[in-house]
Amino acid sequence: MGLAERILAGEIRAAARLMKEVDDNVPSAVEELKKLYPHTGQAYVLGITGSPGVGKSTLVDKLITAFRAEGKTIGVLAIDPTSPFTGGAILGDRIRMQGHATDPGVFIRSLATRGAMGGLSRSTSAMVHILDAMGRDIVLIETVGVGQDEVDVFKTVQTAVVVTVPGMGDDIQAIKAGILEIAHIFVVNKADREGADRTMAELAMMLEFNTYGEKDWRPIVVKAEAVRSVGVDDLLEAIGRHRAWLGQGETLTNHLRERARVEFLEILKETLSERILASLEEAGRLRQIIAQLAEKETDPYSVAEGILKERLRG
């Protein structure tokens, strides 16, 4: 029995093995993903993002507890900074979720960003498919939290939660610069701190002037103290409201098509670039091209256009 068949049977060890192969870019992993893809689309994907120190991991931990109390099975993808020494994930988020380590209904996997733009590992979408096919009811993605570049997380999830805390004016500006128009729920965590009401008011004011975002959905702002589990029920209610809204009319269909479009274009772009690069290296042209560019004998735009024309003719 192959990995895909074992994953469809709910085998955790098989899922962990395929995730490692995906993360290591093992070619055979793609064949397993092809088998799993028709069996995906059942899990609800929830993204949690925000700047470092706002309490994302604690909030995720509380959400896991709440979802498990409802009998839901959970998959967690904690996207950590890349270790400068090993190239792997630092695993900070996984350490904070130790309380769920022995629960068979919770699967936690840490991923290294490996320099991926937007704080998302290149293999995140594939990991979501694996957890989905394995039968997890909810997939939680917690990103590394690097400000407005976190926008990539919203291409993968159905409900996006942005976490902030009082007293971080620069963080509010970062949200205003990039995330405001695509977040579905905001959480003002550590609300026992001074300035929580002011932060709530600032977010509400920003939302008043927001002309972007998904049509007919107005982001909800929730106040919380995740360490004490305060506000978690309000967050769950907000998630439920967005999920219900997403399932109305053509909204879900449009959302699924957009997710499929984004994923396909990313895979196409990565596949083409990898194959073209490998071909250039094999033919010994890459070093020649780089030397010509360094000597200003040509320009990167003309070279890229020329290679593309060659491929299209071929």
Signed CA dihedral, 241, 185, 227, 74: sign only: positive
The 10 Å CB-count burial string (b at 16+, else e) for 276-300 is beeebeeeeeeeebeeeeeeeeeee
What pLDDT is recorded for position 209? 72
φ, ψ for residue 236, nearest 5 deg: -60, -40
pLDDT tens for 131-145 read 999 999 999 999 866
Position 185, amino acid: I
Q: Tell me, what DSSP letter sits at residue 147?
A: G
What pLDDT is recorded for position 176? 53
- Domains in the chain, please, with CATH? 3-246 (3.40.50.300), 260-313 (no CATH)
What pLDDT is recorded for position 152? 63
Alpha carbon distance 90, 113 (integer Å)? 10
pLDDT tens for 25-50 read 898 999 999 999 999 999 999 999 88
Kindly give the parts of the chain with pLDDT less than 50: 82-93, 115, 117-119, 148-149
Alpha carbon distance 107, 262 (integer Å)? 26
Alpha carbon distance 9, 6 (integer Å)? 5
What pLDDT is recorded for position 180? 67
What pLDDT is recorded for position 139? 97
What pLDDT is recorded for position 96? 56
Residue 27 has which token pair? 């070619």
C-alpha pair distances (Å), 166 with each of 19, 184, 185, 234, 238: 37, 19, 16, 18, 20
Q: Are 256 and 242 in contact (CB under 8 A)?
A: no
